[in-house]
Amino acid sequence: MNSANSKLLILNMPDPPFQIVEREYAGGFGVSRHTRLGRRSPLERPILNLFLPYLAGVAEEAACEYLVLDAQAFGFSYNETLRKTKEYAPDIVVSVISLPSLHGDKKLLGNIKAELPNTMTVACGTTCSVMPEEVLTQSNVDLVSRETFPYVNSLECLLSSFPQLAKTSDFSALPGFSYVRESEVRNNPQRSVVKDFTKHHPKYDALPLEKYQHFIDLEGKTHLFIPILGSKGCPYNCFYCPYPLGFGNETVFQDPKVVVDQMEHLCSIGHIEGFLFRNQSFALNLKWAENVCSEILKRELDVSWLCEARADQTSTSLLSVMSRSGCKRIHYGVETGDPVLITRAKAGVSLQTVSKTFSMARKFGIWRQAHIILGLPTENRQSLENTLQFLVKLDPDSVAINFATPYPGTELFRESQEKGWIKEHDWSHFSSFDVVLNANCLKGRDLQGMARKIFRHTLVQRINKLLSEPLMGNLSARCRLLTEYYVPKLAKESLGL
């Protein structure tokens, strides 16, 4: 057997029961929230996890037969996913394991192994790279890759070695992999760091592109979007942030022309016109960001896109070219509205800088989302109130609220262990939507109460502004925003769904 006639299943596992998981967020650890509905509703589409097209690209380069199965996109249950896997009968299954769904993910891979004992089960993801022992313990996972996102080099190595591995089950020569031998977890040394993921080209053709998430813009238009990995890596090392763990702390950039090639290809094969730049910060390299926008304009691509960015990496000239090339939304890591807490939470960024950036982006018709973290060390009632009042002045178009989560491998996790701040070690609650950290005088109900207060207050503020805007404004856009986004959000939050 060689890689050319082996069968590979690239699997995105389903949501656990009563839980919605987005495995690509939180630096690849994944975020999750509980749902009373039992499973994801048809309106709650998943984001496409980029490991799927990237691993498909590697498989195609190796002339390996493969199937991409995104169980979340199709709304499959664990049993349905197991049945589909058995029908395909792969030689290798590769899947991402997330932290909040760790138990269920391991169980499903274990069931696959039980039903298909000759199939090699391989897990990857930030959870695997940071805590391989936890993944391998009490599981039937054969191999764990400790590579950073999008895991392409480890799979390339695995496929090229597979004929021999299938015969001997000797994994000792696989760099950067972990496995169990004689009841002991063995971690193979990493080879010299492979910085260049750009030699691999993602293959989107085998994916159900029409089943992924949409975003809404200030005109009330919705856009189905597909992620694009323009760069990977974040050098900032914020003490709570898992980005450097999942994507590396050295930044590698795709050639702007290659990035826009991918966008143009998706426009042609899937009629896609919406994109998410999955860079940890779009404007980390200003020249690169400008070149990507210029390339979009040069090709006259009619696209709409969103990105993440730091507030201190934005200028009027950059926002102008971003807007002209189709940027409709920017998600900024604001973290806190407290002038003291921000000095550690977002070193180098001031509240004044954040306010200036939000004001500039609004003038270009760009939707501004503020990401907030509640419950960081030294948080108190006054700092929570400061955050609320800052958001009132900031007037963002939307707010995403997360609770401080001590992700394994971060400085916050180490500090929390030393000081006994972690109140529970149930990984399913390390979701960014559950309070698991007790690092201050506040209780979980205080943080949850403030989260609800901020969410409702900002939604009502935005609804009132839309209702009170002068009549010469875009009435149809305001109606779409109210009926399709803000009012449903407020109703859903009020019902606790």
Q: Determine the pLDDT at residue 468.
A: 85
List CB contacts of 289: < 8 A, sequence separation 6 or more.
282, 283, 318, 322
pLDDT at residue 494 greater than cutoff 80: no
Which is more confidently placed, 467 or 85? 85
CA dist 447 to 129, 309, 407, 438, 483, Å? 31, 26, 18, 10, 29
Q: Determine the pLDDT at residue 297.
A: 98
Kindly report the number of other CB atoms within 10 A of residue 414's CB atom: 13
Kindly report the number of other CB atoms within 10 A of residue 26's CB atom: 25
> What size, in residues, is the chain?
497
Q: Region 1-27: what's the mean pLDDT?
A: 87
Question: For the chain, how big is the Rg over CA atoms in Å?
Answer: 22
pLDDT at residue 1 greater than cutoff 60: no
Write the pLDDT tens digit of every residue in 75-85: 999 999 999 99
478: left (phi over 0), alpha (psi -120 to 50) or beta: alpha
Phi, psi of 231 (to 5 degrees): -155, 165
Partners of 373 in the β-ladder: 402
Write down the pTM of the prediction.
Answer: 0.93
Write the pLDDT tens digit of every residue in 136-173: 988 999 999 999 999 998 889 999 888 888 788 889 88
CA dist 285 to 4, 240, 279, 325, 371, Å? 39, 23, 11, 17, 21
Least confident range of 33-47, 77-91, 275-289, 295-309? 33-47
3-state class (DSSP) for residue 357? helix
Euclidean distance between CA atoms 163 and 158, whole angstroms: 9
Q: Region 381-393: what's the mean pLDDT?
A: 96
pLDDT at residue 307 greater than cutoff 60: yes
Q: Determine the pLDDT at residue 403.
A: 96
What per-residue string of b and e applies to 417-427 under the rule 16 or more CB within 10 Å gives b?
A: eeeebbeeeeb
CA 164 to chain centre: 35
Q: What is the 3-state secondary structure (H, E, C) of 194-259?
A: CCCCCCCCCCCCCCCHHHCCEEECCCCCEEEEEEECCEECCCCCCCCCCHHHHHCCCCEECCHHHH
Mean pLDDT of the chain: 92
Partners of 66 in the β-ladder: 8
Q: Which domains does the chain possess?
A: 7-187 (3.40.50.2300), 209-495 (3.80.30.20)
